[in-house]
Amino acid sequence: MKNGIFVSTLMFVLLMTTVIPGEAGTKPIRLAYLQSDIHQLACWVALDKGFFTQEGVEVEVAGIFKAGPEEMSAFAAGALDMGYVGEAPSTTAVANGVARVTVLAQVNTEGSAIVVPEDAHPQGLQDLKGRRVAVPGHSTVQDFLLRKAFKRFGVDPGEVRVIVLKPPEMIGALRTKQIYAFIAWEPYPAKAQTLSVGKVLLTSRQIWEDHPCCVLVAENGFLQARPQEARAVVRAHVRATDFINRHRESAVKIGVKYTGMDEETVRLAMDNVNYTYRLSVEGEREYVNFLAQLKYIKTDDVGAFVKRFIDQDMLKEILR
């Protein structure tokens, strides 16, 4: 009888130790990305090809957001562990103490464009004066690029009516002449072209060549508690990025699957994006300086902030 009680008690203890929630490694990694953002194709490839599982981690998509600031709000609320997001909104959120995340890998460089109506005959950026121009959100990469373009081409920002629209709404607003132009990430500029609604005035490559755009980030508490799982996600991301660059047609099909857009649009969009996991530290310094000038953020030491914000060591270890 005593043996039976002992065995039952032992089985109960073993069962409880295997199902207690909240222990490190027992819960899926809560991952997020931006809706239909072809920049973040590596995330979809990793999900589609099973790279996360192959690297030994379970990932659940815990959020699909329309813009970077929305995703950073979810990080601030404790709803996410890792995410694919724009470098500018994540920089702004961290610098302002809204969220606590660390950049672990680049996702892409370039990949945005300023789009005007197809029947327009613009002479240059000066044609935006007195017009309504849409950005995905303040402190987004696209907002940054538009302001950088104004400065580079001598346009007074005060003469342009900048409004906020989510990218899925921009093409319709352009078609109905509610706006004269928009700047968005791919595939929205490409879709405007294949629908014969808009044409590209300037690509982001023409505004700032090889500029950093999206990054893979981890919430700091998660990173400290589960570093090996974060490292596994980065490994899967590296594999997915290499897959995109080596197997373009297969990557196009995955892009079609996750955006719901046609192959012509996805191919055109991907041609405007440079997929890379290699960190752009100098680009981040420029972001920080520019965002500080706009008073979006306040930082006393740009170099110290960038060093804290970007973890270069994890990627270096993985690439050895």
With 50 as the cut, is the pLDDT of residue 16 above it? no
Separation CA 312–CA 319 (nearest Å): 11
With 60 as the cut, is the pLDDT of residue 86 above it? yes
Per residue in 93-103, pLDDT (tens digit) is 999 999 999 99
Per residue in 123-166, pLDDT (tens digit) is 889 999 999 999 998 888 999 999 999 999 999 999 999 999 99
With 50 as the cut, is the pLDDT of residue 66 above it? yes
Residue with tokens 């957001």: 65
Helix (H) and strand (E) counts in the chain: 16, 12
* Number of other CB atoms surrounding residue 242 within 10 Å: 14
pLDDT score recorded for residue 216: 98
Task: Extract the runs of DSSP E, i.e. beta strands, from the chain.
Answer: 29-34, 59-65, 82-86, 101-106, 108-110, 112-117, 132-135, 161-164, 181-185, 198-203, 214-219, 273-275
How many residues in total does the chain contain? 320
Are the C-beta atoms of residues 273 and 185 closer than 8 Å to each other? no
For residue 232, give the nearest of 101, 29, 57, 27 by alpha carbon. Answer: 57
Lookup: tokens for 298: 């306040």
**CB within 8 Å of 19: residues ≥ 6 apart:** none
Cα separation values, 301 from 55, 283, 288, 290, 311, Å: 37, 16, 10, 13, 17
112-207, what's its fold?
D-Maltodextrin-Binding Protein; domain 2 (3.40.190)
What is the pLDDT of the chain when averaged over all its residues? 91
* Number of other CB atoms surrounding residue 177 within 10 Å: 9
Which neighbouring-strand residues pair with 84? 216
Q: Which helix (H) or strand (E) holds 146?
A: helix 141-152
Which neighbouring-strand residues pair with 2? none
Per residue in 211-252, pLDDT (tens digit) is 999 999 999 999 999 999 999 999 999 999 999 999 999 999
* Plot region of 145 (φ>0 → left; ψ -120 to 50 → alpha; else → beta): alpha
Are the C-beta atoms of residues 123 and 155 closer than 8 Å to each other? no
For residue 188, give the nearest of 135, 265, 84 by alpha carbon. Answer: 265
Lookup: tokens for 5: 């009680």
Separation CA 202–CA 30 (nearest Å): 36
Which neighbouring-strand residues pair with 29? 59
**The CATH number of 28-110+211-319 is which of 3.40.190.150, 3.30.360.10, 3.40.190.10, 3.40.50.150?**
3.40.190.10
Separation CA 210–CA 190 (nearest Å): 19
Separation CA 13–CA 6 (nearest Å): 11
Domain with CATH 3.40.190.10 in the chain: 28-110+211-319, 112-207
Are the C-beta atoms of residues 166 and 66 closer than 8 Å to each other? yes
The percent of residues in the chain predicted with pLDDT above 70, rounded, is 92
pTM: 0.88
Helix 68-76 with 87-95: angle, nearest 10 deg? 40
Are the C-beta atoms of residues 297 and 96 closer than 8 Å to each other? yes
Q: How confident is the model at residue 20 (pLDDT cuts 50, 70, 90)?
A: very low
Q: How confident is the model at residue 200 (pLDDT cuts 50, 70, 90)?
A: very high
Separation CA 206–CA 168 (nearest Å): 24
pLDDT score recorded for residue 19: 33
Q: How confident is the model at residue 52 (pLDDT cuts 50, 70, 90)?
A: very high
Lowest mean pLDDT among 11-20, 56-65, 108-117: 11-20
The percent of residues in the chain predicted with pLDDT above 90, rounded, is 84
The angle subtended at Cα 105 by Cα 100 and Cα 109, nearest 5°, is: 110
